[in-house]
Structure 1
């Protein structure tokens, strides 16, 4: 049995697949010590992993929202310095055999470097390679302009980088390295079929399929408001950008009192009592809805396009209507449309009419279900948590043979 330190960032889209992998590793006899924030303690402990908190000073959570990419880099470096100090005694006492870290957990890679421990990087979304991003002159100029606008933040990043190098001999190769955190082995939680331009990635990237749906959900007293024989539509904007009042009103207007049942997940800032809820709707806050359970029963899924939600929908063979809330989700929506497994709706163009038209189209054209089933087959073939664990074990053994 090996001892594993697992570092994640505290967002459901990152923790849910991490928990799926942790559960598999625990079942195979590994001792997994999983670092995150207290809000995810119960979910992490349900996997059998030992939970450890990042502490009160760790401020990255659902309420932290910024569209300034340089600020994101600064935050990750600042938090890495914080975590490196916090885990110093843990590393000396526990001496983990290897580390697993989310691709955005900068401190995970830094810990592996500082203590010369093998590490595995996990991607909970599509892989975006920097060499593909920076090829256009216009984008290079835009990045240069962004840096010039953020000189104080760049100075902070440089200072933190210097302190980390002096104290732990950690070397930051560049800005992209802060949020990419590449290792000799990277697990990508999708299939090669679903990953755009997958032919560009070598054997150091292992596409092991989705793992988020292998977690346990503990949500009590949830009841579907169903009528026998009617189709079920599930609507959710996920766990972060989910307080768009106008969008939910459009959904009510589009689907209210149709011959169908609707479950709608809303953000915690939405006052459900102020909504006029039609007879065929069940409306709950997102943390009150067991998404995995609902998806097993539904026919169409209107989603924000988060990687986990898309995977969980397609793993049930459900066609998707994707309404992305930010850039990463727009990439996901585009891929869903490219594979024919759903429809991409731009948020700025969403109306009750476009929602209703998309629903009618996706339920009347059976190619969407067929293509969703093709994606499901590619996910199952990729192997899931069991394959992910096998890739890790194989990699660690290869390192052991070399030492």
Structure 2
């Protein structure tokens, strides 16, 4: 049997897809260790993997980033992405690398499994001190291409002759101007560690410096690229495990024979419910629909408005249980939540501008499974109009049903484990 060391950014959306992978590897008899923060110790140990606590790195809690980085809230959109790259992702790179170098002496892994944003393996890879590395994708592919605009802009792909000129110019602009300070920051950190400069842009380097990229979706929910790297495999969407012991809330049966709209701002970009959750509730107040709103784990009392009679508000409801009853979802565009909606054939209205959300929203539009409102603060009127469109215009249901069938034919965990086992024995 083989040894696998997992190391992902300590963020729920980055950790969660890896948990069932680790669990399956343990069940198949492999040795698995997972390096992470104390917040995720219980979930990691529940897979059967050995937990390795961060030592040099910060013991971050992704629900309290503003406590660790109070200035983060001053930035929005691309500027917040740049802040995160500098201070959260690359800022912790030297400490992650130091910890993992020590772990690999204790636990000589055959393969290190990371999420596609984890920077801790870069110094080891660039100095020739890393074993084989596989990355699982927890957001849309960041890889630059002649056929696509740069990641982060939320611009549709264009592989025509004119489109490729546009893409080339935009890629140069993003890498050499917009994100030049991020690249410089990362290279300074690498230089201080006596490691070479990044061979790729800061956005793509964590994935492209691996031996295998396991993209957690189907090809129909990712832009086609004629220059796709050979290390990329599409394995299917990484969906969370179905919950056990779910007790439906008292209103559950009200969803029968009703049009149901679900609204959520996810678990990270939900500090301000005035962005999407509250406007959606207000937009649907006079409509003949049942609105199921969730606060992503925050107290429901944080939604400080009088609730219309057609609203049912909960802190959390498992999507596996809820989405089969839903006719449309309004979301700020988290990659995992959007793919769960597609899996259950639910048309989508998206409105997100932070993290990877502009790219997720753009793919919702491109694949035809929903409407991208292209803002994180849509008006009530725009929300209502979009909801009526995805419910009443048949192409959205038709497209999401087609993609749902594709998702259901792909077993992401099975496909991932097979690829990891092949990587172990590859030369």
The TM-score bracket by the shorter chain reads: 0.7 to 0.9
Distance 1:116 1:139 in 2: 29
Deviation string for 1:290-329 (max 9, x for gaps)? Answer: 2332223322111111211111011111111112233732
Displacement, 1:388? 1.3
SS at match of 1:130: coil
Question: Are 1:278 and 2:308 counterparts?
Answer: yes
User: Is 2:39–2:61's contact at 8 Å kept on the other side of the alignment?
Assistant: no
Quickly say closer, same or farther: Cα 1:28–1:297, change in 2 above 3 A: farther
Distance 2:321 2:193 in 1: 45
Question: Are 1:200 and 2:208 counterparts?
Answer: no
* Structure 1 range deviating more: 292-301 or 220-229: 220-229
Q: 1:225 aligns to what?
A: 251
Alignment of 1:335-346 (within 5 A): 335-346=363-374
User: Is 2:285–2:310's contact at 8 Å kept on the other side of the alignment?
Assistant: yes
Question: Are 1:173 and 2:207 counterparts?
Answer: no
Q: 2:421 aligns to what?
A: 393
Question: Are 1:378 and 2:410 counterparts?
Answer: no
Distance 2:82 2:327 in 1: 41
SS at match of 1:87: helix
Q: Aligned-residue CA RMSD in angstroms?
A: 3.0
Displacement, 1:102? 1.1
Displacement, 1:386? 0.4
Quickly say closer, same or farther: Cα 1:155–1:119, change in 2 above 3 A: closer
Alignment of 1:320-335 (within 5 A): 320-326=348-354, 328-335=356-363
Quickly say closer, same or farther: Cα 1:174–1:346, change in 2 above 3 A: closer
Q: Which consecutive unaligned segments of at least 5 residues does structure 1 have?
A: none
Displacement, 1:349? 6.8
Deviation string for 1:201-236 (max 9, x for gaps)? Answer: 1432100111223x2547876626231422322111
Quickly say closer, same or farther: Cα 1:379–1:348, change in 2 above 3 A: closer
Distance 1:349 1:88 in 2: 44
Give the count of matched residue pairs.
390
SS at match of 2:140: coil
Question: Are 1:57 and 2:58 counterparts?
Answer: yes
Quickly say closer, same or farther: Cα 1:53–1:264, change in 2 above 3 A: farther
Displacement, 1:79? 1.3
User: Is 1:186–1:204's contact at 8 Å kept on the other side of the alignment?
Assistant: yes
Deviation string for 1:64-120 (max 9, x for gaps)? Answer: 545255544443333121122233432212211211111111113444565441111
Displacement, 1:10? 2.0
Displacement, 1:264? 0.9
Question: Are 1:90 and 2:103 counterparts?
Answer: yes
Displacement, 1:353? 2.6
SS at match of 1:347: coil
User: Is 1:103–1:179's contact at 8 Å kept on the other side of the alignment?
Assistant: yes
Distance 2:250 2:323 in 1: 12
Q: 1:264 aligns to what?
A: 293
Displacement, 1:187? 0.7
Q: 1:130 aligns to what?
A: 144
Quickly say closer, same or farther: Cα 1:68–1:250, change in 2 above 3 A: closer
Partner residue of 1:163 out of 188, 192, 196: 192
Displacement, 1:269? 7.9
Quickly say closer, same or farther: Cα 1:36–1:242, change in 2 above 3 A: same
User: Is 2:10–2:60's contact at 8 Å kept on the other side of the alignment?
Assistant: no
Q: 2:162 aligns to what?
A: none
SS at match of 1:235: strand
Quickly say closer, same or farther: Cα 1:372–1:87, change in 2 above 3 A: same
TM-score (norm 1): 0.85
Q: Point out 4+ residue stretches in structure 1 off by more than 6 angstroms.
A: none
Quick check: which one's helix share is greater?
Answer: 1
SS at match of 2:121: helix
Deviation string for 1:172-223 (max 9, x for gaps)? Answer: 435435444432211111111221124431432100111223x254787662
Q: 1:117 aligns to what?
A: 131
Quickly say closer, same or farther: Cα 1:16–1:280, change in 2 above 3 A: same
Displacement, 1:253? 1.5
Distance 1:348 1:172 in 2: 32
Question: Are 1:81 and 2:106 counterparts?
Answer: no
Q: 2:213 aligns to what?
A: 186
Q: 1:9 aligns to what?
A: 9
TM-score (norm 2): 0.80
Q: 1:309 aligns to what?
A: 337
SS at match of 1:78: coil
Q: Which consecutive unaligned segments of at least 5 residues does structure 2 have?
A: 151-166
Distance 2:226 2:409 in 1: 17
